[in-house]
Amino acid sequence: MYVYLTYSKLRFKGMVQVAATRLGVGEKYFPGQLPGEKVENIDKNIGYLSPIGKITGRVLLTRYRLRFEGSDEICQFDVPLGFISKVEKVGHSTVSRGEHAYGILISCKDMRHLRFTCQPATHSRRPLFDALLRYAFPVTNKLVIHLLYLVHISKGLLFQPLYAFLYAQALRESSPVTGSKTVVDGWTIYDAKMELKRMGVPNEQWVITQLNYNYDFADTYPRVLSIPATVEARGREFIERVGEHRSRQRIPVLSWLHPETQASITRCSQPLSGMTNRRCPDDEWFLKQIVSANAHTHQLLIFDARPIVNAKVNKAKGGGYEESYDQCHLLFLNIHNIHVVRESLRKLKDCLFPRVDEKNYLKLVDESKWLTHIQSIIEGAVQIVSEVERNRNSVLVHCSDGWDRTAQLTSLAMIQLDPYYRTIKGFAVLIEKEWCSFGHKFAHRVGHGEDKPSDGERSPVFVQFIDCVWQLMNQYECHFEFNSFLLTTILDELYACKYGTFLFNSEKQRMDNKCMKETVSLWTYVIENKKMFMNPLYHAGEQRTVLIMNSSMTVLEIWKEYYARYNPYVIAPGSLAAKRCAIERTCGKRALIEELVNMAQV
């Protein structure tokens, strides 16, 4: 017998104390087990209520996943605990009627609902329920992830209960034994200065400023920022006055620069004009410098992502919009806020789970408004692309705080404008830049490790963006180096907490928590498994190709391969895995042919 550590509910100094549970020798291993991953809890007599009926089997629980193994040896699946949004007890041991009435219901962030039945006589539900709460919500429970990690903490690191820190430690400990060596460190894939250099910055019009080097100007902004050279010349005090007029000090900064026309895409937060229409001459002058940096135009297009009604409500709360700025033209894009989007996804889930209402499916999809919200983002991004590419105008994009809808618009516009972002590396750079470094609140929007299923901060904003990219790929399949499996992998790892890429709410928070040193980047996995994500139809081309999305409802689709992949009545079991294997084989054959052609030419 081997002793493996699990955790009781006793609390000591704000952390969870350690107790021992004995597990059999044959119970400690299973296929796909990660380095350092240990079985912490097991229930050998449990039923899973699948869409096609009850399947008996056992549940294994580790610090990373819940694993169900059906006794039929056919039904087996893993659910990373980061996917879990809510755990509930169903029924009561003394009053429940029927064999399915007593058990546990698990609600997941990727639209799954998992129902397990327990035997009242065995009293096995309580230990499993408590273990699920403990490990699925480590932040809420302040869970100590490993005794060795306590020693690690004593070396000066902040306490971190999220699994990504344990996973990285286990990889480090296993590397000398396995001889494995990381080919690419994913944390180095994005270098802000190198990305600006790729766009030709610094130049006469744009410079790299040290303004936020210590994150003391705007703590939700990245360390490296680019602003107009004339603004930098005015000094820090001037820029601080501009910052006082913008929500969270998020002043206009450069996201993308057209390689030929110097038309720019900049981003910021809303101005704090309030009901009195308070003006800030310094902020107005700042925007004029963005106009002056582009010799092809004499105006700045300002895209406010919000519905105008919402913008006016924000104005009553001290926010506002640029209604009286010289040389500026303001447009509202009518993209709804996080609360509306969250409710929309809930309705879409009801369309696809647990069963599809065949007669009313299209009506229910329409009532969810999910595609309507996707359409509004696409329409806004297309307007930005048109202004920058066709009209040579510079644009400024913002919503309220500039970290949700703003990121959707800038990144979706940039992937249409710049083919670099349609490569695997470039797409990683785009996400790191426009989402991670510019302060999208991943921790709050996803709820990493927290038992707060009704938290109003949660919203599938990033999921919307990835959905929009999938829509674009459907329209221009040959223009992307990567396939849709990369998109689903990114969304899965958004929830799973195995990598540090999407942890916390800002670049500063990831730096403070030493993510680059103490966790593995998602992009390490992606680059090392690049063949899995290659698109065999990709044709790079020799010239810069700009894509213009079609936002018509006749073209947009529900992304069933993602949203309905766990419903066997919509997506046949095994079909996605078979498709993945076929793509890998095709990419392998294409690579071999290209290699032979190159050898023949030599």
pLDDT of residue 21: 38
The stretches of 390-478 forming alpha helices (DSSP H) are: 405-417, 424-431, 442, 461-475
The predicted pLDDT at position 326 comes to 96
CA nearest to 109, candidates 503, 366, 463:
463
Tokens of 520: 């593995």
Catalytic residues: 399
Please give the distance of CA 257 from its chain centroid, rounded to a whole number.
25
Beta-bridged to residue 226, according to DSSP, are 208
- Average pLDDT taken over every residue of the chain: 89
Looking at residues 210-230, what average pLDDT do you find? 98
Q: What is the pLDDT of residue 160?
A: 67
Known binding residues for substrate are 314-317, 337-338, 399-405
The answer on pLDDT for 92 being more than 90 is no
Longest pairwise C-alpha distance within the chain: 79
Which residues are CB-neighbours of 189 under 8 A, at least 6 positions away?
A: 425, 428, 429, 432, 521, 523, 527
Give 393-406 pLDDT, tens digit per residue: 999 999 999 999 99
**H or E element, residue 282:** helix 281-292
Q: What is the pLDDT of residue 95?
A: 59
The pLDDT assigned to 569 comes to 87
Mean of pLDDT values over 170-177? 80
Phi, psi values for residue 221, rounded to 5°: -95, 160
Higher pLDDT, 567 or 508: 508
| Residue of 588 and 400 predicted with greater confidence | 400
Report the C-alpha gap between 200 and 195 in whole angstroms: 9
**Tokens encoding 108:** 């997941």
- Residue numbers in the known binding site are 314-317, 337-338, 399-405
Can you list the pairs that 519-522 forms with residues at least 24 positions away whose Cβ atoms lie under 8 Å?
Answer: 519/164, 519/165, 519/167, 519/168, 520/164, 520/167, 520/168, 520/171, 520/186, 521/185, 521/186, 521/187, 521/189, 522/186, 522/490, 522/493
Pick the CATH number of 2-165 from 3.40.50.300, 2.30.29.30, 2.40.50.320, 3.10.310.10: 2.30.29.30
So what's the pLDDT on residue 4? 29
Pull the structure tokens for residue 160.
């971190």
Give residues with Cβ within 8 angstroms of 231, minimum separation 6: 238, 239, 286, 289
Sign, CA dihedral 310-316-317-320, equals positive
DSSP three-state, residue 167: helix
Q: How many helices (H) and strands (E) does the chain have?
A: 23, 16
For residue 59, name the pLDDT band (cuts at 50, 70, 90).
Answer: very high
Task: Check pLDDT > 90 for residue 289.
Answer: yes
User: What is the C-alpha to C-alpha distance for residues 218 and 240, in angstroms, rounded to an integer?
Assistant: 10
Q: How far apart are CA 57 and CA 74, in angstroms?
A: 11
pTM of structure: 0.90
